[in-house]
Amino acid sequence: MDELPRAKRNRELTSADEFYLLAKDVQRRTGQKIIAEQGEDRRFREFFGTGVAVAINAWTLLVEHERLEENAEISHLLWAMYFLKCYPKTGEGCAAAASEKGAIDPKTWRKYIWPMIYALADLESILVSSRLIFSFP
């Protein structure tokens, strides 16, 4: 259970535990065990700005509506969520998105977070109905 899922690109990955494992890698907590779900969700919220259920739903919608790039991974979604929460400078973002291998290259950072941010923005047309817009006299 404390191993990263073999297929980070697995489009069917929707388990909270699997998301927690990938989040631990992004948070550089790979040596630590997953704690009780409530505590793990708190850590997830603190780092990514939302709970794991929202991240799972976002990933599922991105997959279902074919908004993902071919090489998109869940870790890229997590990087984008971290970026949207903190708006870090490139160097800080690269260091924060590092895995046990170390910080990522700024070009890699930009290559993966911006398409993911645009894909998340594209979900607005799916989730927000224009029929709910009310006009006031």
pLDDT over 70 at 137, yes or no = no
Q: Which of 82, 81, 85 is nearest to 120 (CA)?
A: 81
**Considering the domain boundaries, does residue 133 fall inside one?**
no
Any residues with CB less than 8 A from the CB of 29 and at least 6 apart, and which?
none
**Considering the domain boundaries, does residue 135 fall inside one?**
no
Hunting for tokens 């998340």 — which residue is that? 120
**Considering the domain boundaries, does residue 121 fall inside one?**
yes
Please tell me the predicted confidence (pLDDT) of residue 107: 92
* CA separation for the pair 124, 137 (Å, rounded): 27
pLDDT over 50 at 11, yes or no = yes
**Considering the domain boundaries, does residue 123 fall inside one?**
yes
**Considering the domain boundaries, does residue 10 fall inside one?**
no
Question: Looking at 7-21, 38-52, 65-79, 112-126, which range is the least confident one?
Answer: 7-21
How is 105-128 classified by DSSP, letter by letter? PHHHHHHHHHHHHHHHHHTHHHHS
Please tell me the predicted confidence (pLDDT) of residue 31: 64
6 pLDDT tier (thresholds 50, 70, 90): very low
**Considering the domain boundaries, does residue 30 fall inside one?**
yes
Phi-psi region of 6 (alpha: psi -120 to 50; beta: other; left: phi over 0): alpha
Q: What's the structural domain count of the chain?
A: 1
pLDDT over 90 at 120, yes or no = yes
* Higher per-residue pLDDT: 21 or 135: 21
Residue 89 three-state SS: coil
Domain around 59: 16-127
State mean pLDDT over 39-52.
Answer: 90
State mean pLDDT over 25-33.
Answer: 70
99 pLDDT tier (thresholds 50, 70, 90): low
Residue 132 three-state SS: helix
**Considering the domain boundaries, does residue 26 fall inside one?**
yes
Report residue 49: phi and psi, to 5°.
85, 0
* Per-residue DSSP letter, 68: S
**Considering the domain boundaries, does residue 7 fall inside one?**
no
- Give me the CATH number covering residue 24: 1.10.472
